[in-house]
Chains A and B, each alone.
Chain A
Amino acid sequence: MGALERLPPPTSLLLVAGAAGLLVGSLRSDVFAQLTVQGLALGAVYGSLALALVLVYRATRVVNFAQGELAMATTYVAYQLIKWGLSYWEAFFATLAIAFVLGTVLEVALVRPVQHRSVIAAVIVTVGLFVLIDGVVNWIWGGDFKYMQSPFGTKTYHLGGVSIARLYVGMLAVVLVSVLLVWALFRFTKLGLAMRAAALRPAESALVGVRVDRMLAIGWGLAAVLGAVAGLMAEPSQFFLDPTLMQPILVYAFAAAVLGGLESPAGAVVGGLAIGVSLNLVVQYVHPITSELQTPFAFAVLLAVLLLKPSGLLGRSEVRRV
């Protein structure tokens, strides 16, 4: 994203070395290649939710613990729309629109009133929201497994000895396209510029005529859209829908966001991909760690980053001259 040349050398070296390692491993072992592709697809989902967390954090300095549950709830909305007769992709886009509205409404109705009191108050609101959404979803749809058709079918591609499910290619493509669209919105549009300005310097933004409150609400809306994409793409990889769908993914997304640097949108996506791939490979190749230990492993990564490099991989310190 043009950011690579601005990175400190150790970080870019690390990323290049990591990518090279994955490539070499994939060329030497078919299993390794399959796990890498699958890890990238899952990692893209984590990255998408991590990006949602970062957007909200940058805009309102709130860590939204309910981001995953919101994503889960919007996935249920899609499930319901499909049940009512919409095709998968009609439901997909309708859900994104509903998620946007839901995100903005939550910011305006619940977060904004307590936001100026204290950050802790806002965080407590998001924890309460977690419980609330969970309760509402269980009340409406029940806690049992729901099944949605897979948007990408069950086809598998074969490349030499490597078999790759169309599902993973589809997940990767949908998430990356969504992330790129959000990035382009921020990078190239007047609205995106105003949103960045409102997040960075609210007082100065108001002075040039930016409606700061509106920008922050739109930020929450966009985050909810990214979360909905993550939820909708996580569901087929789990093969069923239940109210705990996003709970482990929220932990991976936190790890991804912290790994990338909580302030860095690009870092969140890179962090997501890194967490996705490393979880998959570690479970396969590092023996004491089994799939039951995936979530604790992600948590360990989160802790290690916070202790060793709190600014994360791509979080940069601000450049300023006075």
Chain B
Amino acid sequence: MTALLELEDVEARYGPVHALHGISLTVEEGSVVAVLGPNGAGKTTTLRAISGTVRRSGRIQFAGRPLGRVGPDGVARLGIAHVPEGRGTFSELTVWENLRLGAYTRRGSVEPELERVFTYFPWLSERRRQQAGTLSGGEQQMLALARAFVHRPRLLLLDEPSLGLAPVLVAELFRIVRDLNETEGLTVLVVEQNAHLALQAADAGYVLEAGRVALSGTSDQLRSDDSVRRSYLGY
């Protein structure tokens, strides 16, 4: 396996506040990697540093290219789809328009892409003319995933997909993520509070604490680690 994404000693700050104190992590091509940790550990900021939506320093390498000076739209064009906290739904636009925007960086006809995404999310097809803001939270999260999918990214950044969703929906969501990974070879970096679910879906994981990597390993290693069990898995 080769590394698709490498972070080395990445720092980020919001004004005077340091959010990341030198994060290093690697995401292998074709894998699902989870980022765990308590609130304020820098999980969301790590994703934002990758997509360029926060000021960052240190080395970020994607598919052999440094991302240090690339802005968010450039990062998206390089093949990274970032589904941010709050899902990034264009609530004023229709479902179809949201999906069309997801495929914004793609040239030519997007109809085949949309047809393909409807095989994963059949209900979206019937709702294509509905205003996205009127979807339920769960539906919006599915739409966000579908929007990222039509982008056909090499890397998907998912921020707290389970936030505010019913457990059944969360399980469904992770099943689809895993499915996309296995059948489409999509590489995923997912930030998640629900460590149990995240480690079930992921191949490897990183635990962040106070802007640093506290622990890393394969999902099995993390699951059997005592401190992870106590702090995040609750048994």
Chain A residues within 8 Å of B, Cβ to Cβ:
190, 193-194, 196-197, 200-201, 203-212, 318-322
Known pairs A319-B134, A321-B134, A321-B136; A208 contacts B105 (CB<8 A)? yes
Known contacts A197-B90, A206-B72, A208-B76; can you find 11 more A-B pairs with CB under 8 A?
Answer: A190-B100, A193-B97, A196-B93, A204-B84, A206-B53, A207-B53, A208-B101, A208-B104, A212-B73, A318-B133, A320-B134
A196–B104 Cα distance when bound, in Å, is 13
Q: Are B100 and A200 in contact (CB under 8 A)?
A: no
Q: Pick from A209, A319, A320, A321: contact of B77, CB below 8 A.
A: A209
CB-CB contacts of B122-147 with A at 8 A, as 1s and 0s?
A: 00000000010111110000000001
Q: Are B137 and A207 in contact (CB under 8 A)?
A: no
**Residue of B84, B91, B135 with highest tally of chain A CB at under 10 A:** B91
List B contacts of A205 (CB < 8 A): 73, 101
A207–B88 Cα distance when bound, in Å, is 9
A320–B86 Cα distance when bound, in Å, is 13
A203–B52 Cα distance when bound, in Å, is 11
B51 in the interface (beta carbon within 8 A) = yes
Q: Are B135 and A194 in contact (CB under 8 A)?
A: no
Known pairs A206-B72, A209-B77; A320 contacts B91 (CB<8 A)? yes
Known pairs A197-B101, A208-B101, A210-B101; A318 contacts B88 (CB<8 A)? no
Q: Are A203 and B104 in contact (CB under 8 A)?
A: no
Q: Pick from B71, B90, B100: contact of A204, CB below 8 A.
A: B90
B42 in the interface (beta carbon within 8 A) = no
Minimum CB distance partner of B97 in chain A: A193
Q: Are A204 and B88 in contact (CB under 8 A)?
A: yes
Within 8 A of A (CB), among B16-73: 51, 53, 71-73
List B contacts of A209 (CB < 8 A): 73, 76-77, 104-105, 151
Minimum CB–CB distance from A129 to chain B (whole Å) comes to 28
Minimum CB distance partner of B157 in chain A: A207
List B contacts of A203 (CB < 8 A): 53, 72, 84
Number of A-B residue pairs, CB cutoff 8 Å, is 78
Q: Are A210 and B104 in contact (CB under 8 A)?
A: yes
B8 in the interface (beta carbon within 8 A) = no
A190–B99 Cα distance when bound, in Å, is 12
Q: Are A200 and B92 in contact (CB under 8 A)?
A: yes
Q: Pick from B53, B102, B134, B135: contact of A208, CB below 8 A.
A: B102
19 CB contacts below 8 A, A to B, read A190-B100, A194-B101, A194-B104, A196-B93, A197-B90, A197-B93, A201-B90, A206-B76, A207-B76, A208-B88, A208-B102, A208-B147, A210-B101, A318-B91, A319-B91, A319-B131, A320-B133, A321-B134, A322-B164
Minimum CB–CB distance from B151 to chain A (whole Å) comes to 7
List B contacts of A319 (CB < 8 A): 91, 131, 133-134
A197–B101 Cα distance when bound, in Å, is 8
B212 in the interface (beta carbon within 8 A) = no
Minimum CB–CB distance from B63 to chain A (whole Å) comes to 16
B82 in the interface (beta carbon within 8 A) = yes
A61–B122 Cα distance when bound, in Å, is 38
Minimum CB–CB distance from A266 to chain B (whole Å) comes to 14
**Residue of B82, B92, B136 with highest tally of chain A CB at under 10 A:** B92
A73–B71 Cα distance when bound, in Å, is 36
List B contacts of A194 (CB < 8 A): 101, 104
List A contacts of B51 (CB < 8 A): 207
Q: Are A207 and B92 in contact (CB under 8 A)?
A: no
A201–B88 Cα distance when bound, in Å, is 9
List A contacts of B100 (CB < 8 A): 190, 193
Minimum CB distance partner of B144 in chain A: A204
Q: Are B82 and A207 in contact (CB under 8 A)?
A: yes
A209–B100 Cα distance when bound, in Å, is 12
A208–B89 Cα distance when bound, in Å, is 11
Known pairs A193-B97, A197-B101, A200-B93; A206 contacts B134 (CB<8 A)? no
Q: Are B104 and A321 in contact (CB under 8 A)?
A: no
List A contacts of B164 (CB < 8 A): 322
A208–B97 Cα distance when bound, in Å, is 12
Minimum CB–CB distance from B157 to chain A (whole Å) comes to 9
List B contacts of A206 (CB < 8 A): 53, 71-73, 76
**Residue of A201, A207, A318, A319 with highest tally of chain B CB at under 10 A:** A207
List B contacts of A211 (CB < 8 A): 73
List B contacts of A197 (CB < 8 A): 90, 93, 97, 101
List A contacts of B71 (CB < 8 A): 206
A193–B101 Cα distance when bound, in Å, is 8
A190–B106 Cα distance when bound, in Å, is 11
List B contacts of A204 (CB < 8 A): 84, 88-90
A73–B81 Cα distance when bound, in Å, is 44
A322–B86 Cα distance when bound, in Å, is 9
